[in-house]
Structures are given as C-alpha cells and as structure tokens.
Amino acid sequence: MDSTGQINVNSDSYDLVLENLPLPARFKLPQDYYYYTIANVIVNRGCPNQCSFCSRQKLFKKTKIRSISSILTEIRDILSMQTYTHINFYDNININNAFFKDFCNMFIEQKLKIPWGCEIRVDTIEEEDAYLLREAGCQLIATGIESASVDVLRKNFKFQDPKQVMEGILNLKKYQIPIQAYFVLGLPGETEETFQETLDYINSLPLDENDKINYFIATPYPGSRLWDEKEQFKINIIETNFAKYDCEHLIFETKELDKIRLENLYHSAKKIEARFNRK
C-alpha cells in the first residue's frame, strides 16, 4: 500500500518449482530465540477451495504440494537442531488423499518421534484416517468449520457439510486426537438466527478439555472474494485501517447485521470461546 492508501498489486510471480526452494535457515536464528520450540513447516502452496474470505487463490494461482522427500529433509533438519519440541504443518494436509496417506506413513516408516499437528479438512476424515493420524503421532488437528449454517457456507463458497464435519470429529475423538476448531462471525448471509445455530452446533460437538474453539471476525483481505466482490456480497466496509485486518476487529457490516449487532454477537462468541479455552 502506498502513501495515498492505494493498494499496489505486484506482477504475477513466475511458475517456480517448490522443490527448488531452499529450506528455512533456522540455524541462523540467534540464541536469543531459543524459546521458539514449535517449528512451522509449509507443505503446499495455493488451495483448490474458493472460500470468500481467503486470498490464497490470488497469491498462488496453482495448488502445489511438496514431495514427501522434501518434507522429510526439512523434518530431519529440524530434529538436528535439538531445540524444537513440536512441528506444525501448514496448510490442509489432506487436499490430496494419496499425499495424506503418504505423509502419515512417512512418520511411521521413518520412526519419527517428534510430536506434530496440522491443519486439515475434517469433513472427509474416515475412521481409518483418524487411526492413521494417531499412529503417525499427530497430537493436534486444526480445522476451519466457520459456520453451522449451510446457507451461510454456500453463500461464501465454503462447500462443507456440517453433518460430515461432525462425523469427522467423532472419528478423530475415537482416537483421542485434540481438535482446535475455527469459526467465523459476520460472513455475508449471517443473521442472529444462523449465529445461534452455530452456537448450538458447537455445544453439540464431542469436545473435551483438550480441545479449543477460536471465533474470528470475517475479514475482507485484499485479493479475497469479499474484497474484490464487495458489491455483490452487499457488504459495507467501515474500517480502512489495514492494521486492524487481523480477524479480531469489525471491518464490515452486512444488510442483516450492523456494527452494534455484530459487537454484541462477538461478545457472545468470545464467551463460548473462553469456556472451551480455560486450560
């Protein structure tokens, strides 16, 4: 963004090969950063989904997944430093089912013992997938549920059935895998009724003291459909300070929910979030 507040769009990046990118130079971190015990590993770029609130489709035109050998090399690099106690894999390791199985089997076959977690779509998780995750040492699943309203999900191009999400979570809980569930307040189509529907859904989930809920404010990042198609979504952007585009500040109103109503609902959302996050 320039001094006038205008957003400058860079030209398209060239079509690079992920395997040619160097590994993160973690060894260059000064000793002052010894307290970083969680290593974040990116396993793919781009996303085949079209969620209205996401800008990844504009950042990366194609969905690309790293090879298992490349990821294994980075894991061994992390282990060699002897300072990391957990790895977080980003983003959505089950975009491709064959990759998902190879990824989990990598931990089993290579006898990799470091605890790890990942982001995943749970609506496709069968019991055998949950078992494989447990055997591979997965200790946390983060997943975007967003809303329990099918209407809200469809209006925002999140093609996910809350009933199938519930089934996936039930399968994961059979193997005691902790879950961090993400929800979004204020998407186009959201009403006080759909918000209550989502709260009721959260209360029906088979979650325990090891699980967490995070409730975020819908944010129209530049490049997302919410930003590019704001007129079609009929949203009124009321905040232009990009420092507040952090999913914690109210950025826009809809025809169903004005700022005051959204603030009240967000207060309720944070109450239920706190109830699950006391640990």
Mean pLDDT of 99-121: 96
pLDDT tens track for 38-92: 999 999 988 888 899 998 878 888 889 999 999 999 999 999 988 899 999 998 8
Model confidence at 18, in pLDDT bands (50, 70, 90)?
A: confident
Closest Cα to residue 64, out of 20, 22, 26? 20
> Which contacts qualify for 250-253: CB closer than 8 Å, 24 or more apart?
250/186, 250/217, 251/217, 251/218, 251/219, 251/220, 252/186, 252/218, 252/220, 252/226
- Are 134 and 156 in contact by the 8 Å Cβ rule? The answer is no
Q: What is the pLDDT of residue 7?
A: 62
pLDDT tier at 33 (50, 70, 90 boundaries)? low
pLDDT one-digit tens code per residue, 77-106: 999 988 899 999 998 899 999 999 999 999
pLDDT value for 60: 82
Asked if residue 261 has pLDDT above 80, the reply is yes
- Identify the band that residue 258 occupies on the pLDDT scale cut at 50, 70 and 90: very high
**Bond prior to 200 in cis (omega within 30° of 0):** no
pLDDT reported for residue 9: 62
Query: What pLDDT was estimated at residue 276?
Result: 83
Contacts with 267 (C-beta within 8 Å, 6 or more apart), sequence order: none
Q: Considering only 34-43, 129-138, 191-200, 250-259, which range has the smallest mean pLDDT?
A: 34-43
Handedness of CA 213, 242, 186, 48 (dihedral sign): negative
Counting every residue written for the chain, the total comes to 279
Torsion of CA 236, 242, 243, 246, to 10 degrees: 60
Name the helix (H) or strand (E) containing 116.
strand 116-119
Q: What pLDDT sits at residue 56?
A: 83
Among residues 110, 66, 115, 112, the alpha carbon closest in space to that of 91 is found at: 66
Tokens 């015990």 appear where? Answer: 37
Asked if the model's pLDDT at residue 1 lies above 60, the reply is no
Q: How far apart are CA 240 and CA 198, in angstroms?
A: 28
What's the pLDDT at 17?
Answer: 82
Domains in the chain (CATH in brackets) are 31-276 (3.20.20.70)
Burial class (CB within 10 angstroms; exposed 0-12, middle 13-18, buried 19+) of 106: middle
At residue 135, does pLDDT exceed 80?
yes
pLDDT higher than threshold 90 for residue 279: no
Helix, strand or coil for residue 139? strand
CA dihedral 143, 148, 152, 156 (to 10 degrees): 10
**What is the Cα–Cα distance from 122 to 103, expressed in whole angstroms?**
16
| DSSP H or E segment with residue 108 | helix 97-109
pLDDT at residue 29, rounded to an integer: 79
